Structure 1
């Protein structure tokens, strides 16, 4: 009996069954991997370091969002604000309390607020070093206004570098995260970034403390009065967050159906 089995022709590649064939990413029918989403900051398959940086950024955003309803309450808890956010207003209040003898170890709290206010700068700098301008899309988003502000901050960082880093500590509406990421993408050294960031943070927090110290008792009295209405203000902030979320979701639905 003739054996009808045929050995494969080694001159032609042996094809795989459809169920086991590996999709070619170059073909239009191949389904893209999750990491190929254009909203992702990388242009390659992410490494462990990429994923670690991405999740740290995500947790940072959740942390900031979770604190948002309590920002008003933290004004009456300046020492807690110094630990959690490095709040400039909190440092001003610590200065005012020091002026009336209610902050005996104020140098410690100024140091804590200095480290706290700069703690997330390193994450954005790290992201910029890893992904270059890819992190820009994560920060700027789709809002035309946000993109214009981010582009302005990027140009500022590329042109002025160290002075741009100092500007992030001034009370002006500038996306500081874009500046940190841009400096990272420009391959500024870690030592240089940390040294100048720490220096500028310490200078500005000391000035905020001095401002509060000069104001003194009147600032303490104003915050004490403010504390009486804090509960109502907190409710207004929470309602505002809910309304904003609902409004944005409705705008997105209308955009998707249009």
Structure 2
């Protein structure tokens, strides 16, 4: 005769604690931390230095956006102001043209200031390369196909030539010097050496523009005057463009997140 089944017994066994925990995890997946993102350069939870460097890069981007519509306004004020604040090529050409057409005793001050202001934030990308190595190059190169191509070209240049690549990056159009900076930071170049070569490259590059203005002379001054004349309108247009593009990008991201 068959034994009577125990009360409450059935054909299915009760899940173990591990199985129950796995089932609960599937139903309620853990919240993903903000830093756990493949688009960020670090591996694992970021350290204090990671956060500081990333914040510096973000602030640098914000600084560039704020400065973009201000450039034509600064040009309208004075070429020396523009040279000191942005290291502008147009400012260098204008000062060179003034040097050719009259007395301009402080041209060398503008040249030094333009070179210094052009490299004042480059150490941030050297620092990023030292902290994150190739991961920051991957992040900077992954924004678009164009960024990927130019980033790969910059990395090849830095890998092949090393220190001279820092200088050459100033003279090769569309080549991102930030990636060269990150690469040399990754391979252990000292910051002092990097900044010295970077400054020499910036000085020579700005000097080329000043020399062009010097050779062109009066026509270069006339062109700068025309640009300055319409500077305010251009600044307004740039502000509108920045706000509209930011608004549209935010809307698109919200739609993608909702879908």
Per the TM superposition, whether the score is higher than 0.5 is yes
The residue correspondences of 1:1-258 to structure 2 (distance < 5 A) are 29-76=29-76, 77-101=78-102, 103-170=104-171, 172-253=173-254, 255-256=256-257
Distance 1:247 1:29, change over 3 A: closer
Cα distance, 1:64 vs structure 2: 0.5
Gap change, CA 1:98 and 1:38, over 3 Å in 2: same
SS of residue paired to 1:191: helix
Distance 2:47 2:232 in 1: 46
| Whole-Å separation in 1 of the counterparts to 2:188 and 2:55 | 22
Question: How far apart are the structure 1 equivalents of 2:155 and 2:256?
Answer: 29
Which stretch has the larger CA shift, 131-140 or 179-188?
131-140
- CA distance in 1: counterparts of 2:111 and 2:180, whole angstroms: 24
* Deviation (angstroms), 1:257: 5.5
Q: Distance in 2 between matches of 1:218 and 1:39?
A: 47
Q: 1:197 to 1:227 in 2, by over 3 A?
A: closer
Give structure 1 stretches of 5+ with no counterpart. 1-27
The secondary structure found in structure 2 opposite 1:42 is coil
| Partner Cα distance (1:82, 1:159) in 2 | 33
Instruction: Give deviations 1:145-169, integer Å, cap 9, x for gaps.
Output: 3223222222222222233222321
Counterparts of 2:29 and 2:254, CA distance in 1: 29
Q: Secondary structure at the match of 1:240?
A: helix
Q: Is the 8 A contact 2:72 2:232 kept in 1?
A: no
Choose between structure 1 and 2: higher helix proportion.
2
Cα gap change, 1:36/1:250 in structure 2, threshold over 3 Å: closer, same or farther? closer
Q: Deviations over 1:170-216 (max 9, x none)?
A: 26112221121112112222232122112212222222222222222
1:251 Cα deviation after fit: 4.2
- The verdict on how the C-alpha distance between 1:242 and 1:35 changes in structure 2, with shifts beyond 3 A counting, is closer
Q: Deviations over 1:213-257 (max 9, x none)?
A: 222222112222332222322222223223333443454355446
User: Unaligned 5+ residue runs, structure 2?
Assistant: 1-27
Give 1:115 deviation, angstroms: 0.7
Structure 1 residues 50 and 99, CA gap change in structure 2 (3 angstroms): same
Residue 24 (structure 1) aligns with: none
SS of residue paired to 1:172: coil
Please report the TM-score for the alignment, with normalisation by the length of structure 2.
0.78
| Structure ID, larger Rg | 2
Shift of 1:54: 1.8
- CA separation in 1, counterparts of 2:139 and 2:73? 29
Q: CA shift at 1:120, angstroms?
A: 1.6
2:168, 2:201 within 8 Å by CA — same for their partners in 1? no
TM-aligned CA distance change 1:239 to 1:137, over 3 Å: same
Mean alpha-carbon deviation: is it higher for 134-143 or for 79-88?
134-143
